[in-house]
């Protein structure tokens, strides 16, 4: 198995899906001739031709709308939005069309489309290029929302998203595109879209997150281990449908939880996880649930970007606060 970066794993999964199923079509701004802004679609035009790899105008709402139409006609479009900050104009199509098509037609039609995009900061990009607005999509019934944190999981989850009969928003952590390499077998095996992944077991505290911050959680777990504390690290990976059972089971063992994400604190998806722990998980808690998140402000690019994005030190501080209880 070759070691590849996350962006290469995305490319590998797209090529695998297109090779297996002629109904899979890739579309978006510069995805063809230029291979995408991060080269996630590099080489696909030469391999599959202009009828299956379509360069579109700079019109995100149109990209989403065209994808809905293609999906309704039994294609499986995979649409790229260049940055998550440009995706908000797609919400009209995703909320009012894609997410409702199955219900509106009483199951006669489904909408097997993927809307994929880089998300999150850490690459010192201009305004609108570093946002992590996953909560906007998690509040739309009928959408799946996926946010992987490694090349291997990106490959398997993207294959699952493309094969799913319903619409999936697939968020790719920008700062992990080329940050690390991992053995990825191009075996066509999909990963489940309805469960978390436990990356490290521990009995003292549970660290929960998704996307790029998962690497920071693992680094924080290493630091805690040096202090004699064992952290369990859970990659949520699929935010909707949310695998609450895995997190509740972990917290039942550890009694403590730190929830981490790049998005702002208020109404971030971490608040939903905290609400689950405050309900069926309440009697397991030995300490208040901690949230380590971005700030409730516009991303302060470029100089303060890394002060906005939570990292290892803030995760450690929250974990140590939690561990002082009881």
pLDDT of residue 120: 95
pLDDT of residue 126: 82
228: left (phi over 0), alpha (psi -120 to 50) or beta: left
Q: Are 82 and 37 in contact (CB under 8 A)?
A: yes
Return the number of other C-beta atoms located less than 10 Å from residue 317's C-beta: 15
The active-site residue out of 124, 129, 261, 325 is 129
Domain coordinates of the chain in residue numbers? 3-183, 197-324
Assessment of whether the complete model's pTM goes beyond 0.75: yes
3-183: CATH class: alpha beta
| Architecture, CATH, for domain 197-324 | 3-Layer(aba) Sandwich (3.40)
Q: Are 146 and 193 in contact (CB under 8 A)?
A: yes
Q: Which two tokens stand for residue 316?
A: 């450690």
pLDDT of residue 160: 98
Helical (H) or strand (E) element with 67: helix 60-72
Q: Please give the DSSP secondary-structure letter assigned to residue 11.
A: H
In angstroms, the CA 314 to CA 168 distance is: 31
pLDDT per residue over 61-100, tens digit each? 999 999 999 999 999 999 999 999 999 999 999 999 999 9
Residue 39, SS3 per DSSP:
coil
Return the number of other C-beta atoms located less than 10 Å from residue 122's C-beta: 19
Q: Please tell me if the domain spanning 3-183 has the same topology as the one spanning 197-324.
A: yes
In angstroms, the CA 117 to CA 131 distance is: 11
325 is catalytic: no
With 0-12 CB in 10 A as exposed, 13-18 as middle and 19+ as buried, what is 1? Answer: exposed
pLDDT of residue 44: 98
pLDDT of residue 143: 98
Residues of the chain with pLDDT below 50 are: none
Q: Residue 85: CA atoms inside 13 Å, Cβ hemisphere, count?
A: 12
pLDDT of residue 301: 84
Q: Are 193 and 238 in contact (CB under 8 A)?
A: yes
């Amino acid at each position: 198995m070759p070691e590849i970066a996350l962006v290469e794993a995305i490319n590998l999964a797209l090529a695998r899906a297109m090779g297996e199923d002629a109904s899979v079509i890739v579309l978006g701004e510069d995805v063809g001739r230029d291979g995408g802004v991060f080269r996630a679609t590099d080489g696909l035009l030469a391999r599959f031709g202009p009828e299956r790899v379509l360069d579109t105008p700079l019109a995100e709402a149109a990209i989403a709308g065209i994808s809905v139409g293609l999906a309704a006609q039994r294609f499986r479009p995979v649409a790229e939005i260049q940055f998550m900050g440009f995706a908000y104009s797609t919400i009209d199509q995703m909320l009012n069309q894609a997410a409702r098509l199955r219900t509106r037609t009483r199951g006669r039609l489904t909408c097997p489309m993927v809307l994929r995009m880089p998300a999150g900061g850490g690459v010192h990009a201009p305004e609108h290029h570093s946002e992590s607005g996953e909560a906007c999509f998690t509040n739309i019934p009928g959408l799946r929302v996926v946010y992987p944190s490694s090349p291997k999981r990106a490959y398997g989850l993207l294959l699952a998203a493309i094969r799913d009969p319903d619409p999936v928003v697939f968020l790719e952590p920008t700062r992990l595109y080329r940050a690390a390499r991992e053995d990825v077998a191009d075996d066509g095996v999909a990963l489940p879209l309805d469960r978390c992944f436990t990356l490290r077991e521990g009995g003292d505290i549970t660290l929960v997150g998704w996307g790029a911050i998962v690497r920071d959680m693992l680094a924080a777990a290493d630091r805690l281990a040096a202090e004699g504390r064992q952290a369990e690290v859970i990659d949520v990976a699929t935010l909707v449908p949310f695998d609450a059972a895995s997190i509740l089971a972990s917290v039942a063992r550890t009694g403590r939880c730190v929830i981490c994400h790049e998005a702002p604190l208020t109404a971030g998806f971490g608040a939903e996880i905290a609400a689950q722990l405050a309900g069926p998980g309440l009697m397991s808690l030995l300490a208040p649930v901690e949230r380590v998140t971005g700030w409730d402000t516009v991303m302060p690019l470029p100089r303060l970007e890394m002060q906005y994005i939570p990292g290892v030190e803030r995760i450690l501080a929250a974990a140590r606060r939690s561990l002082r209880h009881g």
